[in-house]
Structure 1
Amino acid sequence: MFDLARSRASEREQLRIADLMSLTPPGDRVLEIGARDCYLSRRLSDLYREVVALDLQRPVVDHPGIVPVQGDVTDLRFGDGTFDTVFCTEVLEHVPPEKLVRACDEIERTTSRYAVIGVPYRQDLRADRTLCRRCGTVNPATGHLNRFDRRRLEALFPRMRVVEARLTGQGRAVTNPLSVWLFRLCGYPYGSYDQEEGCIRCGAPLERPKIGPGRWALCFVARTLNRMQFYLYGRRRPIWIHLLFEKCDSAAPAAPVASSRPHSVR
């Protein structure tokens, strides 16, 4: 079973969070989209007077300056420019592709100045697929429906400019056509079944299928190929891309950003 507290405490997750916090400029009001347990909302409360913590289900939190609300990134119930910053990380990869442009438009509309965006970087969506035993849907790992790089993110936020872009973390599951074919043949028994997300189609919890010796042998070949690919290439791949956007029509001087590490990211 997925353990969010354990995931938060991992070295990789702490690296991601530290990078996001150092990228985020201070201000008065911030909207965090996808707040979940409000772990990051608490961190943001050190930078903002008021943090609005939004998720599909209203977060449960009792912390000064944090206002929990129920909402959807594709239909934000706030006026134009309500927040100094909109903070949206580990969310856009889950948005159905047909709603992605709408979600990004809502982020642009509700911020008066900045948007902090964090998503997986050039993720191989074929890796770690799962199979729903209820409806038969093949799911991408952790329900990720979209693949991003800097160019695509800039296209999704046409009325904003990139102040800073960072690539963070090392290593991400990679795969190849032969491994994908073998895993499909065996029913995807080695996918990310310990994830928090259910089936992208019916919402059912995902259960790892049991396999016999023949399928195990085929999967052993597929996993060996993936390991070889990872050691040759995957360890050098960043996991996330983090971008600080600013509205193009913003006239105020830029706020300082701590631990700035500018570099070219595509």
Structure 2
Amino acid sequence: MTDAFGRAILDHHRGEREVNCREASERASGSERSKRHASRESPLWQCDGEERLRHPIEDFYFGEFDPDSEAGAWLVERLDGPLVDLGAGAGRDALYFQERFETVALEVSERLLETLRERGVEDARRGDMFDLRSQFERDRFRSALALGTQVGLAGSMRSLREFLGDLAHVTTPDATAVVDMYDPEYGDADEMLGFRADPTPGLAYRVTWFEYEGDADEALLFRLFSPDRLREATAGTGWAVTDVYRPGDAYYYRAALAKR
């Protein structure tokens, strides 16, 4: 199975994408050098059919966590340790929180796991966020973090409820959690890459995949849940939605959860 996304992140971390750019520019000059530099950047593409967008690796994954920003402060107030970072990516959040309390970073991609460890994440493990009960004991964590909209990979209301139930099992009775999603009913959500409408209020799908240096990952099917649908999914799981935060007042949102 290809891992175009994970390979692009690891290459960026190791500086191999930039090396390719420099090698190309050394053989050119002036405007030609600029054109070749741009053409040899080995971009990570996010795709849907013939449509594609360049995915901003540096901005999304390698910026430092800023606890003094509005978004950072909102997050810090809602998390405590031990913390599990589900789908930790390149480790931006794990690197910050591990300096404050025990943090376990979970990633399904072997290349992302290499990135996490090379960047200094102390407890990075390969694992599936949708199989938590087999990986952690009951009451293992005080908080959970899942940023990157990967919770949408649950694919259905039923599977989302099962995920939340499993998350409740591996967290303490007074636990908190933060997840992020796309609200299909807010603003111009229907214009996002890969959007698929659904007649059911508060629900939609998103289909997209990544391509990098000729490799294409399998298509990802995300279920998009409005905050009201997320609240509905928490019924019977032990969780309640306590706050919803929309950075930039956009269709992207973060939801804070707490045990009932």
For residue 75 of structure 2, the aligned residue among 6, 13, 23 is 23
Are the aligned partners of 2:244 and 2:253 in contact in 1 as well (CA < 8 Å)? yes
For residue 239 of structure 1, report the CA deviation from its aligned partner.
Answer: 2.9
Aligned length: 170
For residue 246 of structure 1, the aligned residue among 245, 250, 258 is 258
1:54 has 2:110 as partner? no
For residue 31 of structure 1, report the CA deviation from its aligned partner.
Answer: 0.2
Partner AA of 1:42 in structure 2: L
**Structure 1: runs of 5+ lacking an equivalent:** 131-137, 171-237, 249-266
Q: Which is richer in strand?
A: 2
Q: State the percentage of identical aligned residues.
A: 14
TM norm structure 1: 0.54
Secondary structure, counterpart of 2:74 in structure 1: helix
Hey, what's the Cα distance between the residues in 1 that align with 2:106 and 2:70? 21
For residue 21 of structure 1, report the CA deviation from its aligned partner.
Answer: 5.0
Q: Which position in structure 2 is the counterpart of 1:116?
A: 178
Matched ranges for 1:92-131 at <5 A: 92-97=151-156, 99-112=159-172, 113-122=175-184, 124=189, 127-129=192-194
Matched ranges for 1:63-102 at <5 A: 66-76=122-132, 77-89=135-147, 90-97=149-156, 99-102=159-162
Distance 1:120 1:127, change over 3 A: closer
Are the aligned partners of 1:165 and 1:243 in contact in 2 as well (CA < 8 Å)? yes
Distance 1:7 1:116, change over 3 A: closer
**Structure 2: runs of 5+ lacking an equivalent:** 1-42, 45-55, 196-204, 210-219
Matched ranges for 1:107-186 at <5 A: 107-112=167-172, 113-122=175-184, 124=189, 127-129=192-194, 140-141=207-208, 143-158=220-235, 159-170=238-249
Hey, what's the Cα distance between the residues in 2 that align with 1:9 and 1:71? 22
Q: Which position in structure 1 is the counterpart of 2:88?
A: 35
Are the aligned partners of 2:79 and 2:144 in contact in 1 as well (CA < 8 Å)? no
Are the aligned partners of 1:73 and 1:106 in contact in 2 as well (CA < 8 Å)? no
Secondary structure, counterpart of 1:169 in structure 2: helix
For residue 119 of structure 1, report the CA deviation from its aligned partner.
Answer: 1.2
For residue 68 of structure 1, report the CA deviation from its aligned partner.
Answer: 0.6
Secondary structure, counterpart of 1:81 in structure 2: coil
Partner AA of 1:107 in structure 2: L
Partner AA of 2:259 in structure 1: K
Are the aligned partners of 1:56 and 1:70 in contact in 2 as well (CA < 8 Å)? yes
Q: Deviations over 1:144-188 (max 9, x none)?
A: 521111111112222222332212235xxxxxxxxxxxxxxxxxx
TM norm structure 2: 0.55
Q: Which position in structure 1 is the counterpart of 2:9?
A: none
Q: Deviations over 1:64-116 (max 9, x none)?
A: 67311111121111112110001112211233336333222222221211111
Are the aligned partners of 1:28 and 1:84 in contact in 2 as well (CA < 8 Å)? yes
RMSD: 3.2
